Amino acid sequence: MYETISTLLFFVLFSTTLLAQDQKPKLITWQDIETLPAPAEGLRIAYGTDSLQHGILRVPEGKGPFPVVVVVHGGCWLSDYNREYMSHLSAALTEAGYATWNLEFRRIGDIGGGWPGTFLDVAKGTDFIKQLAKDYPIDKKKVVVIGHSAGGHLALWLAARENLSRKSFLYEKRPLELTGVVSLAGITDLEKYAMEEGSCNAAVPKLMGGMPADVPDRYAQASPARLLPVRVPQILIQGELDPIVPVEQATRYVARSEKKSKAATLMMLPNAGHFDLVVPQSPAFEKVLQAVQTLFKIDK
């Protein structure tokens, strides 16, 4: 009962447009997410031998097979942040009829995290959908990846890795074929982001093992903007009031994509910040759900 009341109060708080005296909307913060009651946990399943190489699988009731949404969390690629804050989004998507696979992986500060372990883990965890489909009623041929912030970067990279050279350490011969990608405030250009000041920017050289000038080959393999064109349909959702990821990360990526292909589209949300995109009680979540639905419809 308490959790239900708390959730309803949160919904009332953020589903209405609360304006301050300067007419700026009240944005959802990290602290707001931490106060949300945790949804029911799904099945924890390992995709590797390290304790961090696991995911949480949630499957709707029914026979299936259900389309799958792979969820990649953000947090500046740092070990300080984990998959739990994306559990609310994952549970909401499962309620909407999608199986969700909320990935955990090694990050900066973890043994084996950073370059190349973080990328290898996310790739391995996503490809593990093939194995999950043998044991659970999910459709491995209908898979959308959704990622937030640093996870948005990794989600876009998952779609772009098919463009990697066979000589790349990150190359995989037969990666899982994706239906589409939804990037929520995703970091699309690692090189540019590393050169700017901000709360997450300093984490980029820690992830990559150096600045762009130090390890240019790594950035060429890891930055989605460097791996265009991407064949897989991508929808980038960006809050105009985002204080962590500049809107130019989305607009420039889409503009560059349009010059090479028509695979990327942009949904700009004027009254949203960084975390509004991942909270189901936020008005922004309607757009997130719409994007997922759109990508699965394109696949039909």
Which of 95 and 198 is assigned the larger pLDDT?
A: 95
Assess if residue 18 is contained within a domain: no
Specify the pLDDT at position 6. 41
Q: What would the two tokens of residue 170 be?
A: 């990150």
pLDDT tens digits for range 167-193: 999 999 999 999 999 999 999 999 999
Assess if residue 214 is contained within a domain: yes
Specify the pLDDT at position 8. 37
Assess if residue 4 is contained within a domain: no
pLDDT tens digits for range 18-40: 443 446 778 999 999 999 999 99
User: Which among 239, 234, 201 is positioned nearest to 77, based on CA atoms?
Assistant: 201
- The C-alpha angle 110, 277, 262, rounded to 5 degrees, equals 95
Assess if residue 155 is contained within a domain: yes
Q: How many domains does the chain have?
A: 1
Phi, psi of 58 (to 5 degrees): -120, 130
CB 154 within 8 A of CB 161: no
Assess if residue 88 is contained within a domain: yes
Assess if residue 251 is contained within a domain: yes
User: Residue 294 sits in which domain range?
Assistant: 28-299
CATH number of 102's domain = 3.40.50.1820
CB 14 within 8 A of CB 284: no
pTM here is 0.91
Q: What would the two tokens of residue 142 be?
A: 């209908």
Query: Does pLDDT of 246 surpass 90?
Result: yes
Q: What would the two tokens of residue 61 be?
A: 């009731």
Assess if residue 87 is contained within a domain: yes
Specify the pLDDT at position 31. 96
Query: Does pLDDT of 222 surpass 60?
Result: yes
Assess if residue 22 is contained within a domain: no
